[in-house]
Structure 1
Amino acid sequence: MRKIKNPWSKKEGYDCFGCSPDNPIGLHMEFFEDGDEVVSFWRPQEHYQGWVDTLHGGIISALIDETAGWVVFRKLQTAGMTSRLSVSFKKPVMTTDPQLILRAHIVESKRNFITIHVTLENAQSQLCAEGDVTYYAMNEDKTREMGFTTCDLEGEELLAF
């Protein structure tokens, strides 16, 4: 498993709610490549709750959507945008949980439309939510216009979690 470099980190105006490390109210997600999957380890915080100690469903949806986007960046080496997001909530996600694990992989590709399946597990490896996200993968000209050039990996391989 290796960390994925953020392809937007030097882009002027970049302030993504999901992955910008500098967004003061953002999720500050980071991503790793593990074979065919993109993985994120995320620590919930109480100010993202919907009910006492329970993570808001919109935040769960944002985590799933952002993870799917990074599959497009890394696996297809292009930018894209969500065209459909379907989330199934299986079990409450607690803001007191020390870590959540999101895993995503491509399940289908038809022309520029990519379907990605994402799972969200709590620290006890229980499936709490899963989603299917359809992404529109942009063509090379539009991708370059947006400032995307490549989505590479950092340094050495990390131990599997």
Structure 2
Amino acid sequence: MTELRVMPPRSHHQCVACSDNGLFNLRFYQDDETAVSAKVWLESAWQGYQDQLHGGVIATLLDAAFTHCTFLFAPQSVTASLNIRYHHPVPIAVEAEIRAWCVKAKHGMSQLEATLTVADTVCASATASFMRMRASKTS
């Protein structure tokens, strides 16, 4: 099976988290019709406490996964709410996997879940609501 890369819409090409010039150099791939995943090297420059990934970086990575998941079925969606559960400290200078999937999508709202995993251990999980943005009147 060939991996299918999830390509962000043109309006997302300057994203600080996931554009080609972004901080994390993320490449998301479609796992199935409603799920995406990416591997990311956790740089030591992103640490909070000694040898641990900063919680804000964890939140950003999970949010990027959610956003890429919405590209599959509701492009131009934005985060309405984000709830994170930090299960274990996330080490730095290791590879992690982030994965997001859609639980429900209806009337322009999407409910999603995600995980950040290091060495088969779920270190953080999250739930989020995304809402579809209205079309811009200017081009």
The structure with more strand, counted as a fraction of residues: 2
1:17/1:28 contact within 8 Å kept: no
Q: For residues 74-93 of structure 1, what are the structure 2 equivalents within 5 Å?
A: 74=72, 76-93=73-90
* Counterpart position of 2:49: 51
Residues 1:22 and 2:21 aligned together:
yes
* Counterpart position of 1:134: 129
1:86/1:133 contact within 8 Å kept: yes
1:72/1:137 contact within 8 Å kept: no
- TM-score between both structures, scaled by the size of structure 1: 0.77
Change (3 A) 1:3 1:130: same
- Structure 1 residue 77, shift from structure 2 partner: 4.3
Range 79-88 or range 106-115, more displaced: 106-115
Change (3 A) 1:146 1:119: farther
Residues 1:125 and 2:127 aligned together:
no
Q: Which runs of 5+ in 1 are unaligned?
A: 148-161
In the aligned structure 1, how far is the partner of 2:133 from the partner of 2:97? 28
- Structure 1 residue 138, shift from structure 2 partner: 2.6
TM-align CA RMSD:
2.0
* Counterpart position of 1:39: 37
1:50/1:56 contact within 8 Å kept: yes
Residues 1:7 and 2:6 aligned together:
no
- TM-score between both structures, scaled by the size of structure 2: 0.88
How many residue pairs are counted as aligned between the two chains?
A: 136
SS in 2 for 1:42: strand
Change (3 A) 1:146 1:91: farther
In the aligned structure 2, how far is the partner of 1:51 from the partner of 1:70? 28
Range 52-61 or range 13-22, more displaced: 13-22
2:8/2:68 contact within 8 Å kept: no
* Counterpart position of 2:101: 105
1:67-120 deviation digits (Å, cap 9, x = unpaired): 10111112x1421110100000001111122x1111111112231110110011
In the aligned structure 2, how far is the partner of 1:88 from the partner of 1:134? 15
Runs of 4+ aligned structure 1 residues displaced above 2 Å come to: 5-8
In the aligned structure 2, how far is the partner of 1:146 from the partner of 1:32? 31
Change (3 A) 1:137 1:51: same
2:62/2:126 contact within 8 Å kept: yes
